[in-house]
Amino acid sequence: MGQNSVIVLLGASGNLAAKKLYPALFNLHRRGLLSDKLKIIGFDPTHMRHDDFVKHMKSCVDQSSPELEDHFKAFSERCSYITINQDAGDDSFVELRERMESFIERDEAQNRHFYMALPPSIYVAVSEQLRRNCYSEKGDSQIIIEKPFGHDLESSVELHKKLEPNWKESEIFRIDHYLGKEMVKNILTLRFGNPMFGALWDCNHIDNIQISMTEDIGTEGRGGYFDDVGIIRDVMQNHLTQLMALTTMERPGSFAAEDLRQEKARVLRLVPPLETKHTLAGQFVKSGDGKHPGYKDDDDVPEDSRCATFCTSVAYVKNARWEGVPFILKSGKALSESKTEIRIQLKDTTDAMLKDTNHNQLIIRIQPHEAVRLKMNAKQPGLGLRTVETELDLTYKQTVEDPDIPEAYEALLLDAFKGDYSESVSEQELEASWKIFTPLLHELEGNKDIQPAPYVYGSEGPDGLEDFVASYQFQK
């Protein structure tokens, strides 16, 4: 039967709910992973009748399933909707509490999850109303919040302080959707479940590590929002930092949330702030054929904007395991392809016997086409002794028949329902990551002499990028 519980989607008419939350909740229902006592409430200022809400949710889920109608009918029976009256103070939140209480008997416990699919600027005000009117006295309560968690170190600390009087750290689930991706979850198994990799995982064998997330689309329709955020806040301070932490952390005592998050925070505290001398920032201009506009061609972007749409910056971990190994963090929009990967490049082999060998590389492809690939040297067929690069390819779709890979939000929502915080970003991790990036952000944004280098939409990035990464021993 399961535990009485309810998830409230604040911002139920928004883009996040439509693209991610409704499909994830429906898929969890379809897989039989939701308690039959879980209820779903949409909570939003947009006026919708119940039938309209159900129709909206149905339009958001996968329509290809032959059992869609049967599954969705049962799913919709979990759901209801409340229109927020923004002029009525706490009245709508009182109505929300009464709706949640209607699902249980008077003395029953009920777990309550409040998903804040809202602008971060109103997190504090809404969380105060939830705590005052909707907190579960006979069950667990939890707020689920999305990045960005602040704008820099100071604002992040301030946000935590404002949430803290009403919500304990153990009641705040911070979503970084990359932590729910299948290949990200596989990093720890790859590292700690294979002694052959564990033996090589240090500065004695690894030359450099590149962690990259690139997109082949620009900021179409989002220029005004993006100009206040930039690529560093949008991607690097959160997604890429989490990937670096999982790649560099020491073996935790267990995979329990406390042990895992403690080790990630510990290694991030060993990363000094990034410096402009180890950074290359860029901003895209229109494509060569003129079909794709440049960043500043967006009417919502200021003509004098210095916002970085591309950044490569090099980090170091100051401990014995990683001494001297450069971590090349790269992200950008309007580039030649969309992909996210971790590329671990091992040191050169001695050329005393074999000439012209390539670096061994372990490549963890997170998206698209999840894969683990190992590049190695082998003898080229023939009578001579020449080497050729070969590859062990463990692409999921080639090694697993019809892989049913859950979406990231499915994994994260299920963890939230279970009270498993191992894939929630802790306050300690958040503080450590902002300490890495805040000085760089302030320098890039405050020093008007620093201009982002232009790069053409659809290119590899700014001129000089190849030489920049090569200076840290990176080879393609």
Q: What CATH number labels 179-470? A: 3.30.360.10
- Residue 89 reports pLDDT greater than 90: no
pLDDT at 359: 78
Mean pLDDT for the stretch of residues 302-319: 96
Q: How many CB atoms lie within 10 A of CB 204?
A: 11
Percent of the residues in the chain that have a pLDDT greater than 70, as a whole number: 95
| Cα 424 from Cα 138, distance rounded (Å) | 24
Residues of the chain with CATH 3.30.360.10: 179-470
| Cα 172 from Cα 149, distance rounded (Å) | 12
pLDDT in tens, 37-62: 999 999 999 999 999 999 999 999 88
- Token readout for 195 is 């002694």
- Residue 399 reports pLDDT greater than 90: no
Catalytic residue among 177, 239, 292, 359: 239
Residues 6+ apart with CB under 8 A from 87: none
CA 265, 271, 273, 279 dihedral sign is: negative
- Please confirm, yes or no, whether 47 is among the known catalytic residues: no
| Cα 261 from Cα 263, distance rounded (Å) | 5
- Residue 229 reports pLDDT greater than 80: yes
pLDDT at 120: 87
- Residue 248 reports pLDDT greater than 80: yes
Given pLDDT bands bounded at 50, 70 and 90, which one contains residue 398?
A: low
Residues 6+ apart with CB under 8 A from 250: 263, 266, 267, 321
Given pLDDT bands bounded at 50, 70 and 90, which one contains residue 397?
A: low
pLDDT at 262: 96
Amino acid letter, 164: E
Strand 206-214 to strand 339-346: parallel, antiparallel, or no bridges (unpaired)?
A: antiparallel
| Cα 216 from Cα 367, distance rounded (Å) | 13
| Cα 426 from Cα 264, distance rounded (Å) | 9
Q: How many CB atoms lie within 10 A of CB 116?
A: 22
Q: What CATH number labels 5-146? A: 3.40.50.720
pLDDT in tens, 155-185: 999 999 999 999 999 999 999 999 998 889 8
SS3 string of the chain?
A: CCCCEEEEEECCCCHHHHHHHHHHHHHHHHCCCCCCCEEEEEEECCCCCHHHHHHHHHHHCCCCCCCHHHHHHHHHCCEEEEECCCCCCCHHHHHHHHHHHCCCCCCCCCEEEEEECCCHHHHHHHHHHHHHHCCCCCCCEEEEEECCCCCCHHHHHHHHHHHCCCCCHHHEEEECHHHHCHHHHHHHHHHHCCHHHHCCCCCCCEEEEEEEEECCCCCCCCHHHHCCCHHHHHHHHHHHHHHHHHHHCCCCCCCCHHHHHHHHHHHHCCCCCCCHHHEEEEEEECCCCCCCCCHHHCCCCCCCCCCCCEEEEEECCCCCCCCCCCEEEEEECCECCCEEEEEEEECCCCCCCCCCCCCCEEEEEEECCCEEEEEEEEECCCCCCCEEEEEEECCHHHHCCCCCCCCHHHHHHHHHHHCCCCCCCCHHHHHHHHHHHHHHHHHHHHCCCCCCEEEECCECCCCCHHHHHHCCCCCC
| Cα 154 from Cα 438, distance rounded (Å) | 9
Give the burial string for 299-316 (b: 16+ CB within 10 Å, else e): eebeeebbbbbbbbbbbb
Q: What is the mean pLDDT of the chain?
A: 90
CA 50, 55, 59, 64 dihedral sign is: positive
- Residue 259 reports pLDDT greater than 90: yes
- Residue 212 reports pLDDT greater than 90: yes
CA 342, 348, 353, 355 dihedral sign is: positive
Amino acid letter, 422: S
- Residue 433 reports pLDDT greater than 70: yes
End-to-end CA distance of the chain: 54
Mean pLDDT for the stretch of residues 96-100: 96
